[in-house]
Amino acid sequence: MDIFSMMEGQLGVFLLIFTRVSGMFVTAPVFGSRNLPVYAKAGLALALTYILFPLFFNTDIQIPDAILPYSLLVLKEFVVGLLLGFVSSMVFYTVQMSGHLLDMQIGFGIVNTIDPTNGQQIPLVGNFKYILALLIFLAINGHHVLLAALFSSFKMIPLTQVILHNTLADIFVDIISQSFVIAFKICIPVIVALLLMDIALGILARTMPQMNIFVVGIPGKIIIGVFVLSLALPFYILFLEVAFNGMYSDIYRILSNLS
């Protein structure tokens, strides 16, 4: 059967697939970037829908004739896409949060840079860690895994069969709590080094009261913080790979609770 004749009879199914794909493109990393024009996002979502439609076309799918039940189906499909994108973005939000904590400790808290991806101000170290995480994500083909998860979502959650369970709230609480733990683990080396420096500066201020400790401490914390940050960078890259693996497992855990 020609795909256009299929689409003519199942336009409602085509729009449901397009809604789920569009929902993921709103919040997913790389695909949801503000650097990507809206027309490019819509065209890419339409192209993916065109590819997925013959694979998941099923004449047994019942599309409601009334506008209200069909709108409810569209909303559910959009929520599935949003959840896929949001869970995949949690690692990057965690990286930005850890960068904000480090900026406050090092002394870069007053310095903010514009993140072109999200169009908002983020800390200096957070922006550096975010861009590095994004490069690693692309280097390990994380965007391919996102597309594979989108493809798997149509197998795990067939169209018109989305069920929002109460356990989703518990899963999201667990994911967000893990994000705080991961952010703190990323900050530990620099925070410990700066804490030891604060103790040393306190001892120095007691032994040499005539020394202006603020003049010495502010540039010293910047030097020590950047130095320890550069030493911990290889471990940060390895830690990101582990975090991305956890992100992939969270995506499929969400999908299993939506079916």
Average pLDDT estimate for 42-60: 81
Q: What share of the chain is helix, strand, coil (3-state, %, to 5)?
A: 75, 5, 20
pLDDT at 5: 53
107 touches 222 (CB < 8 A):
yes
Q: What is the sign, positive or negative, of the torsion defined by CA atoms of 175, 19, 78, 167?
A: negative
Tens of pLDDT, residue by residue over 118-150, are: 556 666 777 788 888 888 888 888 888 888 888
pLDDT at 119: 59
Boundaries of domain holding 62: 3-256
CA torsion 171→172→173→176, rounded to 10°? Answer: 130
Mean pLDDT of the chain: 80
Average pLDDT estimate for 220-233: 84
pLDDT at 116: 56
Residue 117: pLDDT band by 50, 70, 90 thresholds? low
pLDDT at 31: 82
Q: What is the sign, positive or negative, of the torsion defined by CA atoms of 87, 93, 95, 98?
A: negative
- Which CB contacts under 8 angstroms, 24+ apart, belong to 197-200? 197/221, 197/224
In this structure, the chain runs to a length of: 259
Q: Residue 122 pairs with which residues in a beta bridge?
A: 113
Nearest to 79 by CA among 2, 171, 151, 16: 16
Nearest to 91 by CA among 182, 184, 26, 185: 182
Average pLDDT estimate for 50-59: 77
Task: For the chain, report the end-to-end CA distance as a whole number of angstroms.
Answer: 30
Reply yes or no on whether the pLDDT at 33 is more than 70. yes
pLDDT at 165: 75
Tens of pLDDT, residue by residue over 160-172, are: 787 777 778 888 8
Count the domains in the chain.
1
Reply yes or no on whether the pLDDT at 3 is more than 60. no
pLDDT at 112: 63
Tens of pLDDT, residue by residue over 205-217, are: 788 777 777 777 7
- Give the percent of the chain with pLDDT over 70: 89
Average pLDDT estimate for 62-87: 84
Reply yes or no on whether the pLDDT at 109 is more than 70. no
CA–CA distance, 132 with 125 (Å, rounded to integer): 11
pLDDT at 196: 87
pLDDT at 83: 87
Higher pLDDT, 20 or 125: 20
Residue 110: pLDDT band by 50, 70, 90 thresholds? low
Q: Which among 8-22, 173-187, 210-224 has the top mean pLDDT?
A: 173-187
Higher pLDDT, 193 or 212: 193
